[in-house]
């Protein structure tokens, strides 16, 4: 088994769309909880991860350019992450397909965690 990190990316507008009315907020939340519960039941949820603040900084290049992140420019933000355990990246991708964020036009970035070298 290997570990993977799922980064949830969505635009601020998509987040607001998902939570726009109480009815939709309820539905979105329920979908998320159902999906994570499913991952947990399958023994894939290694860690619930942590939620992330919307703003942040990105430091780039040798000129040390500090920006308020790629989020504003590409209208994209990383809202949080979880750690998943899966056989391989193919299975991790398969597991990510149930993520409710995808239905709202968001994306899940799947990154393998380098295993401890023994």
Partner 1 sequence: MELEAHLFRRESARLVAALTRVFGVHNLALAEDVVQDAFCRALEVWRTRGVPDNPSAWLTATAKHRALDVMRRERTARTFAPELARLLDDELVEEAFAPHTIRDEQLRMMFSCAHARLPEEARIALILNLLCGFGASEIASALLTGRAAIEKRIARGKKVLASARTLFDLDDAELGARQPTVQRALYVLFNEGYHGASESPVRVELCAEAIQLAALLGEHPRTATPATHALGALMCLHAARLPARMDETGVPIALADQDRARWDARLVAEGLALLERSASGHDVTTYHLESAIAALHASARTLDETDWSTIVTLYDRAMAIAPSPVIALNRAIAIAQRDGPEHGIDAIDAIVDRERLARYPFLPAALGELELRRGNRIAARAHLRNALVLARSDAERRFLEKRLRACE
Give residues in contact with partner 1 (CB under 8 A): 15-16, 18-26, 28-30, 32-33, 36, 48-52, 79-82
With DSSP H G I counted as helix, E B as strand and the rest as coil, what are the percentages for the chain, rounded to 5?
Answer: 35, 30, 30
Find the shortest distance in angstroms from Cβ 87 to partner 1: 23
- What is the Cα–Cα distance from 93 to 86, expressed in whole angstroms? 9
φ and ψ of 117, to 5 deg: -85, 130
User: By C-beta, is 55 or 88 nearer to partner 1?
Assistant: 55
Our CB check for partner 1 shows the closer of 27 and 91 to be 27
- In whole angstroms, give the CA distance from residue 13 to residue 114: 33
**Shortest reach from residue 23's CB to partner 1, in Å:** 5
For residues 43 and 88, which CB has a smaller minimum distance to partner 1 in the complex? Answer: 43
Between 13 and 60, whose beta carbon lies closer to partner 1? 13
- Closest distance between partner 1 and the C-beta of residue 96, in Å? 14
Which sign does the torsion angle of CA 75, 91, 85, 33 carry? positive
């Amino acid at each position: 088994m290997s570990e993977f990190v799922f980064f949830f990316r969505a635009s601020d507008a998509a987040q607001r769309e998902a939570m726009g009315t109480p009815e939709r907020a309820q539905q979105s939340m329920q979908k998320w909880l159902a999906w994570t519960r499913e991952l947990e039941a399958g023994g894939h949820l290694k860690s619930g991860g942590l939620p992330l603040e919307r703003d942040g900084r990105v430091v780039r290049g040798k000129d040390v350019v500090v920006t308020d992140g790629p989020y504003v420019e590409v209208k994209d933000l990383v809202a949080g992450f979880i750690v998943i355990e899966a056989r391989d990246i193919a299975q991790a991708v398969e597991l990510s397909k149930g993520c409710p964020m995808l239905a709202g036009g968001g994306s899940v970035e799947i990154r393998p965690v380098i295993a401890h070298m023994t």
